[in-house]
Amino acid sequence: MGIFEKIQEAKNYIDGKTSVVPETGIVLGSGLGEFADFVENKTVISYGDIPNFKNVSVKGHAGNLVLGEVKGKKVVVLQGRYHFYEGHEIGDVVFPVRVIASLGIKNLILTNAAGGIKENFTPGDLMIITDHINLMATNPLTGKNDERLGPRFPDMSSIYSRRLSGIIEEKSKILDIDVRSGVYAGLKGPSYETPAEIRMLSTIGADAVGMSTVPESIAARHMGVEIAGISCITNMAAGISKKPLDHKEVTETADRVKNDFIALLNDVVPEI
Ligand code: HPA
C-alpha cells in the first residue's frame, strides 16, 4: 500500500468514529498534553487503534487523537507524537500529521519542549517559532513524491505563518503572558547536545533546540497546511546553563507553564 492509501485508511477509520470535521490541528509536546482535557464534546481515539499508526513509547506522551471543539472551533489534537530518535522511519514520525491534514485542517499548531540558546531566554518562556533549521539529517519528503499530497519541491520560505504568529502575539498580550520568538533547530537526539554543538547552533542562528516538530512542519506544509509553532523553553541548552541536562527538568518546567500555555491556546484556537 502506498502512503496516500495508508493515510486514506486511517482517515476512513477516524471518520467512522466522529462527525467532527476539524478546521485546526494541534500537536501537544512533552508535558503539554493536558490541553486535550479542555477539548469539549470530544471523541478520543488511541493511536494503537488507528490503522497504520505506531505505538507511542515516551514518558509524558499519551498517544491519543482527540477530536472535538475548543470554544466552538472544531479541532483535532494529537496528544503525543512519534520521535525520530525512537527509531521510527521518518514517514511514520509524520504519519499522524499527514492523517490530520487529510481530515481537512486548514491550520496546525505544533508545540514542543525545547532548550533555550538565546541568552535572554529563561526556562518557562514560551517562544513562537519564526523559522526552523533542519539538522535531523533526513527529510520526511525523501523518496517518491505523491502529487496528491503536494509538490516535489515545496517552498519553505514562510513555513511558519506570520498571520498565525500575529494572532498568538496578540492573544498573549491580552493575557499578559510574555511570549518570545525565535528560530528552532531540530536535531535527531536522543542525547542532549554538547556545549560545542550549542555554540555552533547559536552561530548558525538558532534560538532554541529540540528533537521534534521540524519533520511534522515540513510534511504539513507540503500538504498546504498553514503552520504555527510554539516552543516551551524548558531548560537552558548545554553549556549555557551550568547544570547537567535532565528530562525531569523538561517535564517539571512544562508542568509549571502549562496553565499559561493552555490559556493561550484556548484563546488562539477560536481565532485562527
Ligand atoms: N535539547 C534538545 N531537546 C530538548 C531540550 C534540549 O536542551 N530541552 C527540551 N528538549
As a three-state string, the secondary structure of 48-114 is HHCCCCCCCCCCCCCCEEEEEEECCEEEEEEECCCCHHHCCCHHHHCHHHHHHHHCCCCEEEEEEEE
Residue whose CA is at the smallest distance from ligand 1 atom 6: 115
Q: How confident is the model at residue 31 (pLDDT cuts 50, 70, 90)?
A: confident
210 lines ligand 1 (CB under 6 A): yes
235 is catalytic: yes
Residue labelled with grid coordinates 517535564: 251
Q: How confident is the model at residue 59 (pLDDT cuts 50, 70, 90)?
A: low
What is the reported pLDDT for 60? 47
Q: How confident is the model at residue 242 (pLDDT cuts 50, 70, 90)?
A: confident
Average pLDDT of the chain to the nearest whole number: 95
- Mean pLDDT (whole number) for 130-137: 98
113 lines ligand 1 (CB under 6 A): yes
The total number of residues shown for the chain amounts to: 272
Question: Which pLDDT tens digit goes with each residue over 70-92?
Answer: 999 999 999 999 999 999 999 99
Instruction: Name the catalytic one among 10, 114, 185, 211.
Output: 211
Higher pLDDT, 248 or 56: 248
Residue whose CA is at the smallest distance from ligand 1 atom 5: 115
85 is catalytic: yes
What is the reported pLDDT for 57? 58
Higher pLDDT, 181 or 34: 181
| Predicted model pTM | 0.96
237 lines ligand 1 (CB under 6 A): yes
